[in-house]
Copies of this chain bind each other. A is one copy, B any other.
Amino acid sequence: MQAEILSTGDEVRAGAVADTNAAYIAENLEAQGVRITRHTCVGDELAELAAAIEEIAPRVPLAVVTGGLGPTEDDRTAAAAARVNGVALVEHPAALEQVRRFFTARNLPLSAANRKQALLPQGATCLENPLGTAPGFCLTIERCLFFFLPGVPSEMRRMLTQHVVPELTTRAATAGEFFGTRAVSTFGLPESAVGEKLAGLAGQFDGLRVGLRVKFPEIHVRLYACGADSARVGQVLQDAAAEVAARLGGRVLSLQGASMAAVVGDLLIRQHATLALAESCTGGLIAKLMTDMPGSSRYFLAAGVTYANQAKQRLLGVSGDTLTRVGAVHEDTACEMAAGARRVAQADYALATTGIAGPDGGTPEKPVGTVVIGLATPHATEAFRYVFPFGRRDLNREVFAVTALDRLRRHLTAQDAEKSAAR
């Protein structure tokens, strides 16, 4: 089935915000076997809204529209839909009940402006919005089923899952089709190399499509399967994920699409181990990534972000002699930083980063993009040097941080395997 997406609103039209809603809708509908043929974005003017809806209706059997359902005068999507169908806006009892319930639950009075949100085109079906005041609706225009959803991303996402996806699943099941999707996260190979290693994968399994999604510096492999029964689709996805793991080996982070920080966190929890960090060039980014996750206090103890050499000495106990002898960006310094963080925080493991993120500070021996990573474990302290070619401070910092976490991931994974073998 083909579908189109229409985003509305002056803030998107004029570029004050990027249209992330369209990408979200497209990705989730494509995962259900729908082919998105076009996105369109127009502003809040009634004539432009109506023109866009009128053009879409004869082209495709399904469309998702976002935005313009709020209480203000600028919110004209319902009026535009009514105009295209040549019907009136009428107060919809289910919609009014929903708006009223939202305000009652918050002990707020229902304003006339919010009451306007219950005005839907005659013939529309109201769609519940569990997170906000704006009810959505669906309406058939010509032979196209339009879903009208709010523009607030969290509300749109919830309603897409609650109202649009089930409609697609039902339609597909009626047609004897089932769809499924799965992500496998990887790190350590560029997109082109992942693509080469996965060449021919789609042809190996019935009804499988494969896509790559760059979440720099990770590459996520998206697997889409379709087939005549849901158990078979699940099996194809599982077998294909296993084949991705076989082809990419240690580059695979998670067969469930988890990020590097989540994978490292899970390994630490499983081993009842704790982590400390000593960050120079990454400037707190690894600590930020690890503590982005709820519950990270179970394993994350502390980080010393030591930009200045003196701070490396005073917070982490790096020796002044070492700094004088080899400088800040060196294996010896990285080892002392990691050992110092582990000791000070009394952690099981510690990671250290010292390097040159740029744009300045590079030398012929240590160009911008150089990072030395220290890893302290209960048994040893090691250092690893890399030079990355990205040449941009923000990209360098991201890849330095995730590379450091990858060193720990590889160590913890090996530990895990040893323990399993011993049992």
Residues of chain A whose beta carbon lies under 8 Å from any beta carbon of chain B: 12-20, 22-30, 36-43, 48, 52, 211-214, 222, 276-277, 279, 283-288, 290-292, 294-297, 300-308, 310-311, 314-315, 344-346, 358-360, 393-394, 397
Contacts and interface: CB of A to CB of B under 8 A. Distances in A.
Nearest to A21: B18
Given A296-B307, A304-B304, 12 more contacts: A14-B211, A18-B18, A37-B42, A284-B303, A291-B305, A291-B307, A292-B393, A294-B360, A302-B307, A304-B315, A305-B305, A315-B315
Contacts of A308: 297, 300-302, 345
A42 B5 CA distance: 11
Contacts of A344: 311, 314-315
Main secondary structure, interface of A, reads mixed
Contact of A23 (B15, B296, B360, B397): B15
A257 to B, nearest CB: 14
Contacts of A284: 279, 284-288, 291, 303, 305
Contact of A22 (B19, B25, B30, B301): B19
B310 A287 contact: no
A45 to B, nearest CB: 9
Given A14-B211, A23-B17, A302 B291 contact: no
The 8 closest A-B pairs by CB, nearest first: A284-B287, A283-B291, A15-B26, A15-B27, A302-B311, A284-B284, A303-B305, A18-B23
Contact of A38 (B17, B40, B276, B295): B40
Contact of A39 (B19, B211, B295, B297): B19
Contacts of A295: 360
A22 B26 contact: no
A346 B48 contact: no
B42 A13 contact: no
Contacts of A18: 18-20, 22-23
Given A311-B345, A344-B315, A40 B40 contact: yes
A135 B412 CA distance: 47
A12 B13 CA distance: 17
A307 to B, nearest CB: 5
Contacts of A211: 14, 16
A38 B52 contact: yes
Given A26-B13, A302-B307, A283 B287 contact: yes
Given A283-B291, A315-B302, A359-B294, A23 B27 contact: no
- Most B-side CB within 10 Å, residue of A213, A308, A397: A308
B311 A301 contact: yes
B41 A13 contact: no
A40 B51 CA distance: 14
Nearest to A14: B30
A317 B393 CA distance: 33
Nearest to A394: B292
Contacts of A23: 12, 15-19
Given A297-B307, A305-B305, A308-B302, A314 B15 contact: no
Contacts of A28: 15
Contacts of A30: 14-15
